[in-house]
């Protein structure tokens, strides 16, 4: 199943080398002002183009199929599609015999008995994140007074991001990074104890982003080395403001009115220009292998807006459930 949310429900569809990719947003209230151009700033932030990103460039012009009339949502399901106009499927024929290490090629072939669309990763391609960003813009509109801001705070272990990219280009090897996300203005009481804790729902959404391998809220892993008296955030007024924010704005799974803060680990892109080794099912041996196609050297550069988008989707759903 490729959908998320109970009330504000987002479903994505499409493949890297199909004609379109798209998203349906169900459960959005009527009357939210929205135009196709409202989507462009966040879509632009996700786009390739900068040093360290793929030479495959898509125009990423959204087309509203349904659910929007006279520049407002109508209350009906909203479907948005994006044309794929820059595909080179010939690049991918080799994948079937030599699954790319770190990619889903091998597991998808096994899972779907070879029926998966293997071109460019098919449905599991990062291309689909364009649909997440589109849904995220609408989610952000619903959360109006809430502000979500994600930034790349480290790349390849280096907090000087430009330097990290330069070195990766020089070494011709892909790198990962850490994305930090802060949410302000969220009211007290969003989330539920246990299964629908804010951490559960946000992490569910965040791990939907390809290449994410870790998440920590507030002090996170560092909290495991603190004592209770160091970690506890003293409550300083009747609105629940706290002196410190080691909890990352969440107690018992529920927002406490302070800033929500979490950090996301993005692994290096699997498609490094370096020679690698993989199983060649034709020759029946492990053989050296170089990835074809056009890829990002530091995909983490394009991840912050996707982190913001899925966070907005998760919070819009939690908030509408109240």
Residues 119-148 that bind a second copy (CB under 8 A): 121-124, 128
Cβ closest to a second copy, residue 26 vs residue 147: 26
- How far is Cα 317 from Cα 9, in angstroms, rounded to an integer? 7
- How far is Cα 259 from Cα 265, in angstroms, rounded to an integer? 20
- Coil vs helix vs strand at 141: helix
Q: How many amino acids of this chain bind a second copy (CB under 8 A)?
A: 140
Cβ closest to a second copy, residue 25 vs residue 137: 25
Please identify, among the stretches 38-46, 48-56, 136-144, 153-161, the one whose residues bind a second copy according to the rule CB under 8 A.
Answer: 153-161
Cβ closest to a second copy, residue 148 vs residue 174: 174
**Residues 47-106, interacting with a second copy (CB under 8 A):** 65-67, 69-70, 72-79, 81, 99, 101-104, 106
- Coil vs helix vs strand at 183: strand
- Coil vs helix vs strand at 103: coil
Which tokens hold the place of 91? 């690049």
**Residues 193-222, interacting with a second copy (CB under 8 A):** 193-197, 199-201, 203-205, 207-208, 210, 212-221
Query: How many other C-beta atoms are found inside a 10 Å radius of the C-beta of residue 27?
Result: 16
Alpha carbon 289 to its chain centroid, in Å, reads 28
Which tokens hold the place of 131? 């649909």
- Does 236 participate in binding a second copy (rule CB under 8 A)? yes
Cβ at position 43, least distance to a second copy in Å: 18
Among 35, 86, 189, 282, the residue binding a second copy under the rule CB under 8 A is 189
Side-chain-facing half-sphere of 176: CA atoms under 13 Å = 12
**Residues 3-42, interacting with a second copy (CB under 8 A):** 3-4, 6-7, 9, 11-15, 18-22, 24, 26-27, 30-31
Alpha carbon 236 to its chain centroid, in Å, reads 35
């Amino acid at each position: 199943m490729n959908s998320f949310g109970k009330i504000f429900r987002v479903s994505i569809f499409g493949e890297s080398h199909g004609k379109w990719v798209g998203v349906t947003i169900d459960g959005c209230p009527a009357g939210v002002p929205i135009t196709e151009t409202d989507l462009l700033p966040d879509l632009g932030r996700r786009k390739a183009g900068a040093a360290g990103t793929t030479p495959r460039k898509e125009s990423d012009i959204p087309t509203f199929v349904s659910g929007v009339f006279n520049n407002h949502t109508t209350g009906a399901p909203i479907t948005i599609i994006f044309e794929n106009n820059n595909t080179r499927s010939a690049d991918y024929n080799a994948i079937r015999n030599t699954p790319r290490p770190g990619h889903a090629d091998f597991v998808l072939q096994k899972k779907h008995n070879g029926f998966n669309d293997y071109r460019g990763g098919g449905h599991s391609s990062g291309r689909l994140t364009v649909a997440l960003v589109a849904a995220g813009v609408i989610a952000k509109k619903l959360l109006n007074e809430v502000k979500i801001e994600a930034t790349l705070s480290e790349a390849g272990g280096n907090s000087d991001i430009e330097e990290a990219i330069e070195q990766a280009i020089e070494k011709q090897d892909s790198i990962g990074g850490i994305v930090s996300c802060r949410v302000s203005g969220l009211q007290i009481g969003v989330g539920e104890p246990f299964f629908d804790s804010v951490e559960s729902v946000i992490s569910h959404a965040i791990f939907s982003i390809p290449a994410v391998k870790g998440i920590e809220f507030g002090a996170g892993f560092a909290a495991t080395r603190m004592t209770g008296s160091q970690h506890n955030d003293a409550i300083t007024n009747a609105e629940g403001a706290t002196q410190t924010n080691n909890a990352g704005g969440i107690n018992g799974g529920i927002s406490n009115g302070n800033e929500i803060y979490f950090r996301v680990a993005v692994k290096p892109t699997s498609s490094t220009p370096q020679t690698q080794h993989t199983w060649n099912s034709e020759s029946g041996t492990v053989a050296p292998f170089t990835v074809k196609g056009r890829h990002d050297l530091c995909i983490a550069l394009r991840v912050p807006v996707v982190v913001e988008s899925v966070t907005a989707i998760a919070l819009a759903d939690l908030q509408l459930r109240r």
